Amino acid sequence: MEDKIYIFDTTLRDGEQAPGIHLNVREKTEIAEQLSRLNVDIIEAGFPVSSASDFESVREISRKIKDRRIAALCRANDGDIEIAGEALKEAANPVIHTFISSSDIHLKYQFKMTRQKALEMAGQAVKKSRQYTDTVEFSAMDATRSDWDFLCRMFEEAIKQGASIINIPDTVGYALPEEFSRLIDYVFTNVDGIEDVVVSVHCHNDLGLAVANSLMAAAHGARQIECAVNGIGERAGNASLEEIAMIINTRGKEMGIRTDIRTEEIIRTSNLVKSLTGYLIAPNKAIVGKNAFAHESGIHQDGMLKERSTYEIIKPQDIGLGDSRLILGKHSGRHAFVEKVNEMGLKLKEEDLESAFERFKNLAEKKGAINDDDLRAIVTDKIREVKEHYVLKNYEVYSGSCIKARSTVCIIADKKEKEASAEGDGPIDASFKAIDKVTGIDTVLVDYNIEAVSAGKDAIGQVKIIVSAEENEVMGSGISTDIVEASIKAYIDGANRLKSIIQDHKQRGYIN
């Protein structure tokens, strides 16, 4: 048996049927051109009878893309088939994909049709489709909830009338992998002529099993998998093309199968579909989610820094991405922190490393992910050599439109905790006055400046101030996601600098 799995992409047909997706002709053509670069085998371009836009999309894609098979979907009736044939007229390799339900629940409640009638319509539809192309795919909708013997009879009739692809859809995502594989085996064993056609599967993801079912079918002899980029489609979507492709790329040798997908085009294709459909991708989505190649855990980062394969079974370059990302956050370890600091060209003395790392962890608890600007602010704030006479332990502020602002600060000074409270014109002014009570320094605020050093609502704010005392003027700096806290840190930094100058002047005898 051939080891190649043919990839039938239904992004532009089943994928576009997802609620809220409305692609125009230009957008569909753009995606189809990218699917060609991805090297899928068949592009299902639309359902021509469903709308004028779908008809034009199939026709335009047929005109422009000559190196792929282009498929059009149609129900098992003459009108649908004729319109599909017309839309595919200029295709170099046209495929008519016709279908009818095989399950009793569909035939009874939706189509109000007997099994015999459905059987006849299936054969007639394939025969009619052969007037337009030699490649006809027949699908028995809701196959997994059908009577297996009747399903086999329907497939035999389709093959007899000239179908070259037989599709077994799990239309409502009902099948379990072991059950689906038994159905595939049953079809191969009980359908006359099955050895002369390609067996395809089209699995939906209602129970999260679309990819698993598709691969089980391939393991049992199916040689075409129908799937969609980013797994989009009706309800919970279709089997995800990128997951199918990368599972086979990664484990195909053990499975004895392969695809011709150019995997380095995966991320470009995924991003294009995301952009044009407006359907976002979950961060933890396999292969194309933004976290798929991102590592925050300290244990994982340590392993990645030593050897990538410790925690990655796929190289990001294989799907068209750059390098993996080590995300600095509250779960990150010292190894990743130091590696990133060195990568950014920042120099930290060994004795400053521990305190800088502690500041990083404290900020990560509040903010989450730490970006380069955040890290630079954290590290450069520690690089400045200032003796810490005063260290902030905690603070509380009370402020509002109808109350006088009040701040209480607790500062460690001379290894003792000292607490003071003060009122002021706003929480920052009140905090500065409370700090003055602890330090005993008669400080004058000369200048105050605040700026965001990183982007977003949770950006780090950096406060820079100039303060003076006893004719000495110094700058203080503080950073935090909380502006009041950044201001307090900056003022204490200034107080430390003033204290050092005052002590030095006393030692030199400049002042009493």
Q: What is the pLDDT of residue 381?
A: 56
Q: What is the pLDDT of residue 357?
A: 77
Task: With beta carbons less than 8 A apart as the criterion, state whether 474 and 498 touch.
Answer: yes
Between CA 22 and CA 69, with CA 171 as vertex, the angle to 5 degrees is: 60
Q: Is residue 494 very low, low, confident or very high in pLDDT (cuts 50, 70, 90)?
A: very high
> H helices then E strands: how many in the chain?
16, 16
Q: Is residue 19 very low, low, confident or very high in pLDDT (cuts 50, 70, 90)?
A: confident
Task: With beta carbons less than 8 A apart as the criterion, state whether 277 and 23 touch.
Answer: yes
269 CB-side CA count, 13 A: 31
Q: What share of the chain is helix, strand, coil (3-state, %, to 5)?
A: 45, 25, 30
Task: With beta carbons less than 8 A apart as the criterion, state whether 346 and 379 touch.
Answer: yes
Cβ atoms within 10 Å of 179's Cβ, excluding its own? 13
Q: What is the pLDDT of residues 237-288, one digit of tens each?
A: 999 999 999 999 999 999 999 999 999 999 999 999 998 998 889 989 999 9
Task: With beta carbons less than 8 A apart as the criterion, state whether 191 and 152 touch.
Answer: yes
Range of weakest confidence among 63-77, 338-352, 385-399: 338-352
Task: Retrieve residue 440's tokens.
Answer: 């005993």
pLDDT higher at 271 or 352: 271
Task: With beta carbons less than 8 A apart as the criterion, state whether 203 and 240 touch.
Answer: no
Q: What is the pLDDT of residues 124-172, one digit of tens each?
A: 999 999 999 999 999 999 999 999 999 999 999 999 999 999 999 999 9
Calpha distance 294→317 (Å, rounded): 13
> For the chain, how long is the longest CA-to-CA vector?
111
- Report the share of the chain in percent with pLDDT over 90: 67
Q: What is the pLDDT of residues 367-419, one digit of tens each?
A: 566 666 667 766 665 545 567 899 999 999 999 989 999 999 999 998 899 99
Q: Is residue 455 very low, low, confident or very high in pLDDT (cuts 50, 70, 90)?
A: low
Of 217, 405, 202, 371, give the one whose Cα is nearest residue 294. Answer: 371
Task: With beta carbons less than 8 A apart as the criterion, state whether 475 and 501 touch.
Answer: no
* Average pLDDT, integer, range 295-304: 68
DSSP lists the bridge partners of residue 74 as 98
* Average pLDDT, integer, range 60-64: 98
Task: Retrieve residue 385's tokens.
Answer: 């050599």
- Is residue 131 classed as helix, strand or coil in its secondary structure? coil
Task: With beta carbons less than 8 A apart as the criterion, state whether 174 and 207 touch.
Answer: yes
Task: Retrieve residue 450's tokens.
Answer: 């605040």
Calpha distance 506→405 (Å, rounded): 36
Q: What is the pLDDT of residues 424-445, one digit of tens each?
A: 999 999 999 999 999 999 899 9
Task: Retrieve residue 184's tokens.
Answer: 């595939």
Range of weakest confidence among 173-177, 419-423, 444-448: 444-448
For 381, list phi and psi in degrees, rounded to 5.
-65, -30
User: What's the sign of the alpha-carbon dihedral 18, 227, 73, 127?
Assistant: negative
pLDDT higher at 372 or 462: 462
What's the mean per-residue pLDDT of the chain?
89
What contacts 507, CB < 8 A, 6 or more positions away?
Answer: none
- Is residue 46 classed as helix, strand or coil in its secondary structure? strand
pLDDT higher at 321 or 95: 95
Of 36, 165, 149, give the one whose Cα is nearest residue 97. Answer: 165
What contacts 423, CB < 8 A, 6 or more positions away?
Answer: 404, 405, 406, 430, 433
Task: With beta carbons less than 8 A apart as the criterion, state whether 328 and 362 touch.
Answer: no
Task: With beta carbons less than 8 A apart as the criterion, state whether 209 and 176 touch.
Answer: yes
User: What's the sign of the alpha-carbon dihedral 353, 355, 361, 367?
Assistant: negative
Look at residue 475 and tell me whether its pLDDT is greater than 70. yes
Calpha distance 154→148 (Å, rounded): 10
Q: What is the pLDDT of residues 320-331, one digit of tens each?
A: 988 776 666 667
Q: What is the pLDDT of residue 473?
A: 84
Q: What is the pLDDT of residue 367?
A: 59
User: Which ranges of 171-327 would DSSP assign to H, the alpha helix?
Assistant: 177-190, 210-219, 241-255, 266-277, 298-306
Domains of the chain in start order, with CATH, are 6-277 (3.20.20.70), 295-383 (no CATH), 390-507 (3.30.160.270)
Look at residue 510 and tell me whether its pLDDT is greater than 60. no
Enter the pTM of the model: 0.73
Q: What is the pLDDT of residue 149?
A: 98
